[in-house]
């Protein structure tokens, strides 16, 4: 019998299971002296808010964010969302933890995704671009990182294999753009789609939880991608300079705007197509992740998202009726 998963927890239920600590902070009680411990705990199925009311200062010193803790407690509903009230906890050594149940993974088979990646490379007809792709994805150490790290820390594809999944999704969207607009350079666009987030292999680090590395915070994945690709280009002395300039432009401009982290704006149609394909996949997956995270909510709407500048609807999008809420009427 597997461990209790976050997605299975209900108000009133007792809990005795291991979880990864996603966030930890000591907070002041509102109406009495002292502090309580506020936690975000997670596993492969999601995450949940948790509180420790007693001995918070002492217990907070026994573990860090990223550790696994075994908790005993109960679930309750608070302001429309579930929270866990922890009565006992202890740090759990990693070799005793069910890691496969604690870390979210892509729902897609990794082997099939890697096969799709290599098949896409074989379909690139330009010999220079194909040679570059084979060199990049033939680097075993880099490839091991590429198939492991998430697509982002929090916002989209935030799970093991998320970067690979996101990359393949962007490739498929770019293929659609190339089919609709055959005038654009298909090989250039597809190659850039495969490479556009390569720097995240260096930007993100971790095992049970992922965070930004020092170089990730100082430099960011857009510039790191440019560095990685140009290091490989140096090993291909016959690679045409103009083609290298075009590819570099797509990689540097794929965030679309300077305020979104792009050193340059897209100035060719291939760069514009890559930017919107990347943004489309990231934002749709982000909305879907918010719907999943809000599945335990008693509201049909999420909290306000500054990134999306919206409250996200969490209810059904088919013929089903949303669960009823006290909405009042204008008379």
DSSP 5: P
Please give the class, per CATH, of domain 104-288.
Answer: mainly alpha
pLDDT score recorded for residue 321: 66
Taking the domain 6-100, which CATH number applies?
2.40.50.140
Q: Where are the domains of the chain?
A: 6-100, 104-288
pLDDT for residue 36 is more than 80: yes
State the pLDDT confidence band at 294, using cuts at 50, 70 and 90.
low
pLDDT for residue 323 is more than 80: no
Q: Measure the CA–CA gap between 165 and 301, rounded to whole angstroms.
A: 27
Following CA atoms 75, 78, 81, 87 in sequence, which dihedral angle do they give, to the nearest 10 degrees?
-30
Helix, strand, coil shares of the chain, percent, nearest 5, are: 40, 20, 35
pLDDT confidence bin for 330, thresholds 50/70/90: very low
Summarize the confidence of residues 288-317 as an average pLDDT.
74
Tell me: pLDDT of 325 over 70.
Answer: no
Alpha-carbon Rg of the chain, whole angstroms? 23
Least confident of 21-30, 139-148, 159-168, 299-308: 299-308
Interatomic CA distance for residues 30 and 49, integer angstroms: 18
Supply the pLDDT for residue 311.
84
pLDDT band for position 322 (cuts 50, 70, 90)? low
- At 153-208, the pLDDT tens digits run 767 788 889 999 999 999 999 999 999 999 999 999 999 999 999 999 999 887 77
Which one is predicted more confidently, 260 or 326?
260
Q: pLDDT > 90: what percent of the chain?
A: 62
pLDDT at 278 over 90: yes
| For range 27-50, the mean pLDDT | 91
- Nearest Cα to 170, choosing from 148, 198, 144? 198
Q: How many residues appear in the chain?
A: 331
Q: pLDDT at residue 26 above 60?
A: yes
How does pLDDT run across 82-124, given as a tens digit for each residue?
899 999 999 999 888 888 888 888 889 999 999 999 999 999 9
Per-residue pLDDT at 126 = 98
Question: What are the distances in angstroms from CA 254 to CA 66, 194, 257, 268, 279?
Answer: 31, 12, 8, 11, 9
Residue 320 has pLDDT above 80, yes or no: no
Mean pLDDT, residues 36-51 taken together: 91
**pLDDT, the chain, mean:** 89
Indicate if the pLDDT at residue 219 is higher than 90. Answer: yes
pTM above 0.85, yes or no: no
Please say if the pLDDT value at position 234 is more than 50: yes
Q: What is the pLDDT of residue 209?
A: 77
């Amino acid at each position: 019998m597997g461990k209790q998963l976050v997605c299975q927890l209900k108000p009133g239920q007792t809990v005795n299971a291991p979880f990864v600590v996603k966030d930890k902070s000591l907070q002041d009680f509102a109406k009495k002296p002292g502090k309580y411990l506020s936690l975000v705990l997670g596993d492969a199925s999601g995450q949940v808010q948790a509180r420790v009311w007693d001995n918070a200062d002492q217990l907070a010193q026994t573990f860090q964010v990223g550790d696994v803790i075994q908790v005993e407690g109960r679930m309750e509903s608070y302001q429309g969302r579930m929270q866990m009230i922890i009565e006992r906890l202890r740090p759990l050594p990693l070799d005793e933890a069910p890691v496969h149940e604690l870390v979210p993974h892509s729902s897609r088979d990794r082997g099939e995704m890697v096969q799709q990646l290599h098949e896409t490379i074989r379909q690139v007809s330009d010999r220079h671009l194909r040679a570059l792709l084979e060199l990049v994805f033939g680097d075993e150490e880099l490839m091991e990182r590429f198939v492991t790290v998430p697509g982002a820390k929090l916002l989209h594809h935030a799970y093991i294999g998320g970067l690979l999944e996101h990359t393949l999704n962007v490739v498929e969207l770019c293929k659609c753009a190339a089919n609709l607009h055959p005038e654009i350079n298909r090989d250039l666009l597809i190659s850039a789609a495969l490479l556009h987030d390569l720097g995240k292999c260096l930007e993100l680090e971790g095992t049970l939880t992922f965070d930004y590395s020092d170089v990730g915070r100082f430099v960011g994945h857009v510039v790191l991608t440019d560095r990685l690709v140009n290091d490989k280009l140096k090993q291909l002395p016959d690679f045409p300079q103009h083609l290298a300039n075009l590819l570099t432009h797509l990689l540097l401009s794929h965030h679309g705007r300077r305020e979104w982290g792009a050193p340059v704006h897209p100035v060719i149609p291939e760069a514009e197509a890559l930017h919107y394909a990347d943004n489309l996949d990231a934002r749709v997956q982000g909305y879907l992740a918010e719907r999943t995270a809000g599945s335990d909510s008693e509201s049909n709407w999420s909290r306000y998202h500054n990134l999306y500048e919206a409250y996200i609807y969490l209810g059904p999008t088919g013929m089903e009726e949303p669960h009823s809420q006290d909405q009042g009427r204008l008379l």
